[in-house]
Structure 1
Amino acid sequence: MQALLFEQGVQRIVEDQTGPITYYSDVITPALAKAWFDALLAQGDWHESSRMMYERLVGVPRLHCHYAVANPTLPSVLRDALAVVRQHVDTPFNSIGLNCYRDEHDSVAPHNDKLHELVSHQPIVLLSLGATRTMVIQRKKPPRLKTELELEAGSLLLMGWNAQLHYDHGIPKLQQPVGPRISVAFRVRPEKASERW
């Protein structure tokens, strides 16, 4: 899977009925990206968790936290980030999920977002902060074309709701050392589900 178009910081990875998937570089300045990263790393309500895999309980290889946009205790940095995202994507986001990849050992396996936890046909937007990590995007059915996308600090990745039906995405572990990265995911969840996040 190759990018169809790259112009003025916009890279269209998928632009047909299976997408869209679009990458926007340099949405915020490096200085602002660092300030937001430092604030979220220090202030985020970070948790470790575990899940059953292959009939045993294993630790999830990253930290995470979630916020409802309507929550009055939503950190101010996330309100600022939401305002920037809405300048690029006109969507009524009501849920913000964060993942912290502490080093090269943290990862997320190839997956698609669970559609029953999303409002139909609303996109997902990821804001990247901190170290650059590679996202692998692969089509589910043949031809199983694959793109490796470098998610840089201050960038946005937009994935259309329909893309979850056709593509998996993941952040693989690395062999070489890398600093921490925070992924800030903006979603529209059904009303009752958004209250839990």
Structure 2
Amino acid sequence: MIKDIDACIFDLDGTLVDSMWMWPDIDAEYLERFGFEYDDNLKNEIDGISFHETAVYFQKKFGIKDSVEKICQDWEDMALDKYKYEVKEKPGCTCFLKHLKSRGIKMGIATSNNKNMVDAVLNSLNMKDYFEVITTSDEVKKGKPAPDVYLRTAELLGVRPEKCLVFEDVVAGVIAGKAAGMKVCAIEDDFSKEVRERKKELANYYINDYRELL
């Protein structure tokens, strides 16, 4: 899979770390403050878009009067403790990162999350030093499924898109990687199990566990 690949670019949530489980809880708790019930369809509506874009979406959909900045800060406050103390790496992840490093393959992260939370979880799991570049969707014009965040990460790594392999857990991310002209390996995640076959159909490869690649 990594033959002729110069860089691997990873999504964060659901791909490097097992964290997707916490977001419906946070969304439900947040919406309850404003008298709304969480709807399972919501996760499909916001899959892949940036943290800021999601806040704009919530503001419009639910008529929330708080500023986008206040919404983002509230979510960050709710999520940081979970990232620091509860979120674990996906099975075999660190072993695979060590393997890539030993092969001299560059590594970057392209995530829809925000920088503070990315730093919190990577520092907690001692992963940060593996990555030369961390790009968030807030740094580009459009979030996933647009290819912008993957193209920007490849540019910062100094690697041509066709020499990059993307790892993703959701359909929007797989589409973004393919739109960037990169090969994509979809990874199993319980949060997106209902679209498992769609992920397999869209991606070049599919794995259940990083240990399959060692």
Instruction: Give 1 or 2: higher helix fraction.
Output: 2
Same fold (TM over 0.5): no
If the length of structure 1 is used for normalisation, what is the TM-score?
A: 0.30
Instruction: Give 1 or 2: higher strand fraction.
Output: 1
